[in-house]
Amino acid sequence: MRRCPERTVLQQYLDEALASSDGDSVEGHIEKCKACQKLLAALVETDTPTGLAPKPPATPTPEAVIERFAALAIRLAHAAADPDPGAKMASRRLGS
């Protein structure tokens, strides 16, 4: 393939919608053509899922603070599972 393939052909290549021989010739052309490499890169880039390269916050939350949040969540989970441990102990004592 001497001439650069159309943009739609490159998209078909990425969608694996080309016949095997056509795919091979597109690959062969792209190997030598910087312009097509650039276009192929751009086509793939526009198809990138949201949030693939998130920017980290300027000042990340310190690890110690994050662990305090986790400890709080564990306390809440335990409180939810056993809302009144005192009452349970009292009823156990009464039952014995």
Partner 1 sequence: MHSNLATSSTLLRRLQLGPQDSSAWADFARRYGPGIHQWCKNWGLDDADAEEFAERVLTQLLERLRRFEYDGKGSFRTWLKNVTLAAWAKLIAEKKPGHGANKTARLESPQARDDLVARLDAEFDQEVLGLAMLRVSQKVDFNTWEAFRLLALAGRPGWEVARQLEMKVAAVYLARSKVQKLLRQECAVLEKEGAKK
Question: Does the protein bind partner 1 through residue 8 (CB under 8 A)?
Answer: no
Question: Does the protein bind partner 1 through residue 52 (CB under 8 A)?
Answer: yes
Q: From the DSSP assignment, how many helices (H) and strands (E) are in the chain?
A: 5, 0
CB of 92 to partner 1, least distance (A): 21
- The residue type of 15 is D
* CA of residue 63 relative to chain centroid, distance: 22
What is the C-alpha separation between 82 and 69, in angstroms, rounded?
Answer: 20
What is the C-alpha separation between 93 and 22, in angstroms, rounded?
Answer: 82
Question: Does the protein bind partner 1 through residue 26 (CB under 8 A)?
Answer: yes
The token pair at 57 is 């916050």
Instruction: Among 76, 87, 89, 90, indicate the residue that binds partner 1 (CB under 8 A).
Output: 76
Question: Does the protein bind partner 1 through residue 50 (CB under 8 A)?
Answer: yes
Q: Give the footprint of partner 1 on this chain (CB under 8 A).
A: 13-16, 26-27, 30-31, 37, 40-41, 43-44, 47-54, 57, 59-61, 65-74, 76-78, 80-81
